[in-house]
Amino acid sequence: MFGDQPGWTLKIRVWVERDGIKVLGPGRADLLELIHRLHSISAATGDRSPHLPESTIIRTAVTGDLPALCRLAEELVRRHVAFDPGRYQPPADVAAGYAELLGRHVGDPASVVVVADRAGELVGYAFGVVEPPSLVALAGRAGWIHDLYVSVGARRLGVGGLLLDTAVAGLRRIGCPGGVLLGVAAQNVAAEALFRSRGFRPTLQEMALGPWPAEDAEPNGTLDHLHKDDPTGAAAGSDG
């Protein structure tokens, strides 16, 4: 038909729609991946609602989203600080820090930054990066989801699940044979339940000691005091 007409080009825009959310995909591989993911998990999740506005879409972030992304990131940081102010110690200007951080990753082919857009208002986002193998983390080339956040007024509608699904699909498309890893605050039971519903399993448990006053540090930043009575340094060792 159209393809046979001189000067005509047929372009088709396709999306996956689930419970009123249009999950856009730029290509056939994205579409197939999202169809597979959304179909396979729909029966297992109970956090979706038929009342989600049809104007909500999950899409890739663009540079113009940065101010709204930084506001959402500030909300995420404040929530973590409220969980444990000793563990979570953000910079004085969180928005500026995130503007610099996300500004490097929006549009980066090794990163995934996706947003939940409700009629032009951003109500959530996910941020992940494919990282090289790490001896410290004992991980291969893996996708790391660093942030996943949904604003208070958009929760319990399935937005977080679709942001997570889209981020995982994006990281797999980039290539992460080591899997996808993320962290969750011990107090955030709702997020943990969401991750478990998507097949994530507990692995490393982070534990914290401190913080301490800055004046506790040695003047030259070394641990020489540990060896004053033991020149061999054996006293610094531990059997467990």
Classify domain 11-203 at the CATH class level.
alpha beta
Mean pLDDT of 161-177: 96
So what's the pLDDT on residue 41? 34
CA 124 centroid distance within chain: 11
- In the Cβ-directed half-sphere of 46, how many Cα atoms lie within 13 Å? 3
- pLDDT, tens only, 67-114: 999 999 999 999 999 999 999 999 999 999 999 999 999 999 999 999
Reported as a single tens digit per residue, the pLDDT across 142-168 is: 999 999 999 999 998 999 999 999 999
Q: What is the DSSP letter of 34?
A: H
C-alpha span between 31 and 218 (Å, rounded): 56
Highest averaged pLDDT of the listed ranges 14-18, 205-209, 217-221, 226-230: 205-209
Q: Is the pTM of this model over 0.75?
A: no
CA distances from 128 to 158, 168, 199 (A): 19, 8, 17
Collect contacts of 102-110 with beta carbons under 8 A, ≥24 apart: 102/61, 102/66, 102/69, 102/70, 102/73, 102/127, 103/63, 103/66, 105/129, 106/61, 106/62, 106/63, 106/65, 106/66, 107/62, 107/63, 109/174, 110/174
